[in-house]
Structure 1
Amino acid sequence: MKALQAALRAEHAAVYGYGVVGGRVGDERRADARTAYDAHRARRDELRRTVRGLGGEPEPSAAAYALPFSVPDSAAAVRLAAELEERVAAVYSDLVRATEGARRGAAAEALREAAVRAARWRGGSVAFPGLAERSRASADGAAGASPGA
């Protein structure tokens, strides 16, 4: 349930963030922003239903979310969209590990979709979507780690 609630929180934040992106992004990317906004709303709503179906109370969205940086123009909006997708991918990566069966498949699909959107916004991809921060942490700690640790 914890990983599902984390995914729900990430989707709430993404919906909020895409409201900012949509207000700042240029006309040439506005349709992309709208499509992503709609996708995150649909995922958010599905996660709410899943949490309820498991007997939990879905976490509500916050009134506002802190953005990772200022978004004064279209270029910053594009960077924000990529950042939102990377953050969502990371949370779905955790959900893939925490679930099995159909829920794991749905989480993997959400991870894939976020990774594709991030690549489109960024203009390139990463080797392991959703694991960038883990890759950095592993590299930083690899010097003293023993095999299999």
Structure 2
Amino acid sequence: MSDGKNDGPLEAAQAALAAEHAAVYGYGVAGGRVGSKRRAEATAAFHAHRARRDALVRTVRDLGGEPVASDAAYALPFAVPDAAAAVRLAAVLEDRVGYVYSDLVRAADGSLRRSAADALREAAVRAARWRGSGVPFPGLAERAGAKAGTDARAGAATAH
């Protein structure tokens, strides 16, 4: 994938779709290990990402593309043996989704830009809830991590 600076709306929408596929997978893992007190939160996030994923499939088609398919499985950024790791994973998933939505905000206009901005905001809020704190510029902090070698664009840390 490119760095997002010159991506058009279709390429940025495809990247967001790939990240949503990975987030849905990641929440399947996190939701199974998160503590009972936060299970409803994980379930709500899972459903939110499924809805965004489904909307992006339509968006990609509307933009003239063939939607990127989900992988059968995704490599997680770290082992998730317990509830604490599941919470960390959920925050990472949201950060990574926020990253690709910041690219889509930059590449799109009109209603697609508004939708991407809404998705970025929602991901930032969920990440802050999972982490217990926010970041100053959601979507940009993840870009800095990507430059340091983190594969932030790939959603749940897949190597496509």
- When normalised by structure 2's length, the TM-score is 0.83
CA RMSD of aligned residues (A): 1.3
1:133 & 1:7 partners in 2: Cα distance? 14
Identity value in percent: 73
SS at match of 1:61: coil
Which is richer in helix?
1
Structure 1: which 5+ runs fail to align?
139-149
Instruction: Provide Cα deviations, 1:38-57, integer angstroms capped at 9, x if missing partner.
Output: 00000000000111122211
How many pairs are equivalent? 138
Instruction: Provide Cα deviations, 1:98-147, integer angstroms capped at 9, x if missing partner.
Output: 11111100000000000000000000111001110445689xxxxxxxxx
Matched, 1:16 2:28: no
Give the structure 1 partner of residue 89 of structure 2. Answer: 80
2:27 & 2:146 partners in 1: Cα distance? 28
CA contact (8 A) 2:95 2:142 kept: no
Give the structure 2 partner of residue 106 of structure 1. Answer: 115
Structure 2: which 5+ runs fail to align?
1-9, 148-160
Matched, 1:93 2:102: yes
Give the structure 2 partner of residue 62 of structure 1. Answer: 71
- Greater Rg, structure 1 or structure 2? 1
Matched, 1:47 2:56: yes
1:134 & 1:64 partners in 2: Cα distance? 24
Cα distance change of structure 1 residues 85 and 52 upon mapping to structure 2, 3 Å threshold: same
2:19 & 2:134 partners in 1: Cα distance? 21
For residue 3 of structure 1, the aligned residue among 5, 8, 12 is 12
2:82 & 2:145 partners in 1: Cα distance? 29
**Residue 66 of structure 1: how far off its partner (Å):** 0.6
2:53 & 2:19 partners in 1: Cα distance? 9
Greater relative contact order (CA < 8 Å, ≥ 6 in sequence): 2
